[in-house]
Amino acid sequence: MSKVIAVCNQKGGVGKTTTAVNLAASFAALEKRTLLIDMDPQGNASQGLGFLESQDTDIHEILDLAENPDNVTYENIQPAILDTSLDFLKVITSGPDLAVMEIELVNAMSRERRLERVMNVLKHNFEFIIIDAPPSLNLLTLNVLTAATSVLIPVQCEYYALQGMTELFKTIREVQKNLNANLKIEGALLTMYDARLSLCKQVAEEVRENLSNTVFQAMIPRNVKLSEAPSHGKPVILYDVQSTGSQAYMKLAEEILNKEK
């Protein structure tokens, strides 16, 4: 049975997609069968793995298919599951059409459970499924949280780091209460950390005080290679394995694996 981790924060620019792509790549490098699902209509996670064009079958088609539970078979989902440059990493891409799904779902039956139906099939084929959620608290995000086993929350080391967290935790509690009682907080991940800046240190301390045991020991530094890698269509582990960014995401993957033991 796989672990389904939603990487979620409605606040943009916190390293959400960077985390989804590079955590998935790190699990794959550790030879864990891993699937990355891009649920963000911007499709940045797809692009970060080299998929610059819309694919014939992407997550929009799969969610459309899942309107009828009888259609949700591995054979029907398989055309959307694409190989990547890492042997143990597959991806289901996204594209602009996914934004339309938000409108299509408004009046649909069981509208929050489309992705969950897909997960119930896929979780038998992968050890880790990482979902890059949209940067908003909408119906697509509700689908992600309903389908996930846990939520990983990237938190940028900046002055307004905790702003918006109240709303996110409120949404998570509502999902736990009404849609997915088993949803856990995987942890908060400090991103864009710069040890030279006293503000970063203060914010890191504040986040640890407020979120206590849920904050990962691994922290993601500000790193040029992390910023450059997506433009080359590669996770940082394939762009520069020695970079501090690559090493930080590997530490995060190992920390999550160690928690499972």
Tens digits of residue pLDDT in 30-69: 999 999 999 999 999 999 999 988 888 999 999 999 999 9
Residue pair 133/142 in contact by the 8 Å Cβ criterion: no
Q: Which CATH architecture has domain 3-260?
A: 3-Layer(aba) Sandwich (3.40)
Does 11 have pLDDT greater than 90?
no
Per-residue pLDDT at 183: 97
- pLDDT exceeding 90 applies to what percent of the chain? 72
Per-residue pLDDT at 164: 74
pLDDT band at 212 (very low <50, low <70, confident <90, very high): confident
**How far is residue 15's CA from residue 62's CA, in Å, rounded to a whole number?**
26
pLDDT, tens only, 73-109: 999 999 999 999 999 999 999 988 898 888 888 888 8
DSSP annotation string for the chain = --EEEEE--SSSSSSHHHHHHHHHHHHHHTT--EEEEE--TT-HHHHHTT--SPPSS-HHHHHHHTTSGGG--HHHHGGG-EE-SSTTEEEE---TTHHHHHHHHTT-TTGGGHHHHHHHHHTTT-SEEEEE--SSSSHHHHHHHHH-SEEEEEEESSTTTTTTHHHHHHHHHHHHHHT-TT-EEEEEEEEEE-TT-HHHHHHHHHHHHHHGGGEEEEEEEP-HHHHHGGGGTS-HHHH-TTSHHHHHHHHHHHHHHHHH-
Per-residue pLDDT at 229: 95
- pLDDT exceeding 70 applies to what percent of the chain? 100
**How far is residue 178's CA from residue 192's CA, in Å, rounded to a whole number?**
34
CB atoms within 10 A of CB 73: 10
Beta bridge partners of 35: 90, 129
**How far is residue 148's CA from residue 119's CA, in Å, rounded to a whole number?**
8
Per-residue pLDDT at 122: 97
Q: Against a cut of 0.85, is the pTM above it?
A: yes
Count of alpha carbons within 13 angstroms of residue 44, beta-carbon side: 20
Mean pLDDT of 184-210: 88
Per-residue pLDDT at 110: 84
What are the backbone dihedrals phi and psi of residue 216, each rounded to the nearest 5 degrees, phi first? -65, 150
Compute CA 134 distance to the chain's CA centroid, rounded to the nearest angstrom. 9
- Average pLDDT of the chain is 93
Per-domain boundaries in the chain: 3-260
pLDDT band at 158 (very low <50, low <70, confident <90, very high): confident
**How far is residue 52's CA from residue 46's CA, in Å, rounded to a whole number?**
7
Residue pair 143/160 in contact by the 8 Å Cβ criterion: no
Does 10 have pLDDT greater than 80?
yes
| Residue keyed to tokens 């856990």 | 184
pLDDT band at 159 (very low <50, low <70, confident <90, very high): confident
pLDDT band at 71 (very low <50, low <70, confident <90, very high): very high
Per-residue pLDDT at 20: 98
Poorest-pLDDT segment among 89-93, 131-135, 161-165, 183-187: 161-165
Does 121 have pLDDT greater than 80?
yes
Residue pair 108/69 in contact by the 8 Å Cβ criterion: no
Mean pLDDT of 148-154: 97
The angle that helices 16-29 and 244-260 make with each other, rounded to 10 degrees, is 70
**How far is residue 204's CA from residue 191's CA, in Å, rounded to a whole number?**
10
